[in-house]
Amino acid sequence: MSITTTKADDRPRVDPGDQVMRVRGVTLRFGGLVGLSDVALDLNRGEILAVIGPNGAGKTSLFNSLTGMYVPQEGTIVLRDRSGGEHSLLGRKPHLVNRLGVARTFQNIRLFGALTALENVKIAAETRQKSGPVSIMLGLPNARREDRESDRRALELLHFVGLDGLLNELAASLSYGQQRSLEIARALATDPQVLLLDEPAAGTNPTEKLDLEVLIRRINRELGVSVLLIEHDMRLVMSVADRVTVLNFGKVIASGSPAEVQRDPEVVAAYLGAEMAAEMTGATQAEIGGVAEDGSVPAQRDGEEQR
Ligand SMILES: Nc1ncnc2c1ncn2[C@@H]1O[C@H](COP(=O)(O)OP(=O)(O)OP(=O)(O)O)[C@@H](O)[C@H]1O
C-alpha cells in the first residue's frame, strides 16, 4: 500500500460485482440469546459501507465475527483477494484474519498507553516483517532493513493521520480524538484491504469529527482501502457512506444508498418506535433512543430487545 498513489479526489472504482467481503447466513448465538440472525452483507471493493442500528442491534458482534473474535455457529464469511482468491474467515484466529488483509479499530480504544505514538504504530507495522526473533536479536542485515522499513512506514502513517507532531508522546497522554487517529494509523500499518471502524467518532469533538470524515474518505480514496463503518453519528454516516446496512435485533432490516435507507419504512419504524416511547414516557429522545436533533442515534435500552 502506497500513501501517494492517487489524488484525493480520485475514487477507487466501485464494481458491485467485485466483492472484497461476502457474508451469508451468519447466525451467532450466546447461549439462548441470538446476537446475529441470518445476516447477509456484501462489501464491494473500494466502497465505504456503513452498518447502523440501535445499541444492542448486533453491530459489534458482526465486526467480532468478521475478524475472528467470535465464531458464528452458522454461515459463511469470505474475503476475496485482489487476484480473486477466496479465503474463508469463519473460525480463523484474529491475527490470521489480519494477515489476510482485514484490520479494525475498537469501540473502546485499545492502545498501548505506556508506549509512544510511534511505537504503537511500529509494532503493528512489524507484524508484516519476515525476520525471526534470532535475526532481530543478532541484528542481521535483513532484520535491520525491515526495522528501518517499519520506522518509515509508521512515520508515513502518523503523518497521514495528522499526528506527526506527536510521535514521541505517550499514547495515554493524547486527546481522545488523537487516540482514535492513532488507532486508525495502527490498523493501517498492517496493510489491510478492508478496514473496520467501530464507532470512530465516539467521544470526539465537532472539529475532530470533521477531521475524521476527511480521513475516512482519504483512507478509501488515496489508499484504496474498502471500509466498513459502524457509527451512531448519522451526519457522518450519510456524508461518507456509499451504502448503508441497517441491523435491528441482530437482523438486517434494510440495505441501500443512504437516501434509500432513510426512506425505508422498516428503518423509520425502528427509530420511530423509540420516538413514540419517548412521547409516551415523557422522556427526551436522547434518553430513550432514536434519531436525535444532532443526527446521532442513541441507545436502545437494555431489556427493550426481545431475543
Ligand atoms: N460476549 C457476549 N456474550 C453474551 N452476549 C453478548 C456478547 N456480545 C454481545 N452480546 C449481546 O449481543 C447483542 C448485540 O450486542 P452488540 O454489542 O453486538 O450490539 P451493538 O449493535 O454493537 O451495540 P452498541 O451500539 O451498543 O455497540 C446484545 O444483546 C449484547 O448484549
Torsion of CA 170, 172, 174, 176, to 10 degrees: 160
Closest ligand 1 atom number to CA of residue 302: 29
Using the mean position of ligand 1's atoms as its centre, give its distance from the Cα of residue 144 in Å.
43
**Confidence band for 299, pLDDT divided at 50, 70 and 90:** very low
Q: Which long-range contacts (CB under 8 A, 24 or more apart) does 258-266 make?
A: 258/50, 261/52, 262/238
Same domain, 277 and 128: no
**Confidence band for 97, pLDDT divided at 50, 70 and 90:** very high
**Model confidence at 205: pLDDT above 60:** yes
How much is the pLDDT for 139?
65
Full domain range(s) for residue 146: 114-191
Q: What is the mean pLDDT of residues 199-221?
A: 93
Using the mean position of ligand 1's atoms as its centre, give its distance from the Cα of residue 83 in Å.
35
Residue among 191, 195, 198, 176 nearest 62 (CA): 198
Closest-CA residue, ligand 1 atom 31, reads: 56
How much is the pLDDT for 91?
87
Same domain, 86 and 210: yes
Q: Is residue 140 in a domain?
A: yes
Q: Is residue 298 in a domain?
A: no
Same domain, 96 and 196: yes
Q: Mark which of 167, 191, 215 sits at the end of a domain.
A: 191
C-alpha cell at 292: 436525535
Same domain, 279 and 179: no
Same domain, 69 and 119: no
> What CATH number did the domain enclosing 67 receive?
3.40.50.300
In order, the DSSP letters of 167-234 are TTSBGGGS-HHHHHHHHHHHHHTT--SEEEEESTTTT--HHHHHHHHHHHHHHHHHH--EEEEE-SBH
Same domain, 183 and 64: no
**Model confidence at 81: pLDDT above 50:** yes
Instruction: Report how far residue 211's alpha carbon sits from residue 205's, in angstroms, rounded to the nearest whole number.
Output: 10
Q: What is the mean pLDDT of residues 85-101?
A: 93
Q: Is residue 288 in a domain?
A: no
Same domain, 202 and 250: yes
Instruction: Report how far residue 65's alpha carbon sits from residue 44's, in angstroms, rounded to the nearest whole number.
Output: 18
Q: Look at the block and give the residue holding cell 436525535.
A: 292
Same domain, 200 and 222: yes
Q: Is residue 32 in a domain?
A: yes
Output the furthest CA–CA distance in the chain (Å, rounded): 71
How much is the pLDDT for 11?
56
The share of the chain scoring above pLDDT 90, in percent, equals 58
Q: Is residue 106 in a domain?
A: no
Q: Per the structure, how many domains does the chain have?
A: 2
Q: Is residue 300 in a domain?
A: no
Q: Is residue 301 in a domain?
A: no
Using the mean position of ligand 1's atoms as its centre, give its distance from the Cα of residue 250 in Å.
9
Strands 33-44 and 19-30, by their bridges, are antiparallel
Q: Mark which of 174, 191, 208 sits at the end of a domain.
A: 191
Same domain, 22 and 88: yes
Residues forming beta bridges with residue 217, ordered by sequence position: none
Strands 243-248 and 48-52, by their bridges, are parallel
Using the mean position of ligand 1's atoms as its centre, give its distance from the Cα of residue 191 in Å.
28
Using the mean position of ligand 1's atoms as its centre, give its distance from the Cα of residue 29 in Å.
11
Calculate the alpha carbon distances from 45 to 79, 142, 193 in Å: 11, 34, 8
How much is the pLDDT for 129?
67
**Confidence band for 134, pLDDT divided at 50, 70 and 90:** low
How much is the pLDDT for 295?
41
Torsion of CA 185, 200, 203, 282, to 10 degrees: 180
Counting ligand 1 atoms within 8 A of each CB, the residue from 27, 29, 30 with the most, and so the one to mutate, is: 30
Helix (H) or strand (E) holding 254: strand 251-256
Rounded to the nearest angstrom, the gap between the alpha carbon of residue 192 and the centroid of all alpha carbons in its chain is 11
Q: What is the mean pLDDT of residues 30-43?
A: 94
Counting ligand 1 atoms within 8 A of each CB, the residue from 29, 36, 61 with the most, and so the one to mutate, is: 61
Same domain, 60 and 197: yes
Same domain, 155 and 31: no
The share of the chain scoring above pLDDT 70, in percent, equals 78
Q: Mark which of 191, 209, 224 sits at the end of a domain.
A: 191
Instruction: Report how far residue 2's alpha carbon sits from residue 10's, in angstroms, rounded to the nearest whole number.
Output: 15
**Confidence band for 88, pLDDT divided at 50, 70 and 90:** very high
Q: How many helices (H) and strands (E) does the chain have?
A: 11, 10
Q: Is residue 306 in a domain?
A: no
Weakest mean pLDDT among 34-43, 138-147, 282-291: 282-291
How much is the pLDDT for 6?
42
Whether residue 204 contacts residue 180, with contact meaning beta carbons closer than 8 Å, is answered with yes
Same domain, 180 and 197: no
Weakest mean pLDDT among 76-90, 242-256, 258-272: 258-272
How much is the pLDDT for 74?
96
Any residues with Cβ below 6 Å from ligand 1, and which? Answer: 30, 33, 35, 53, 55-61, 107
Counting ligand 1 atoms within 8 A of each CB, the residue from 60, 66, 198, 249 with the most, and so the one to mutate, is: 60
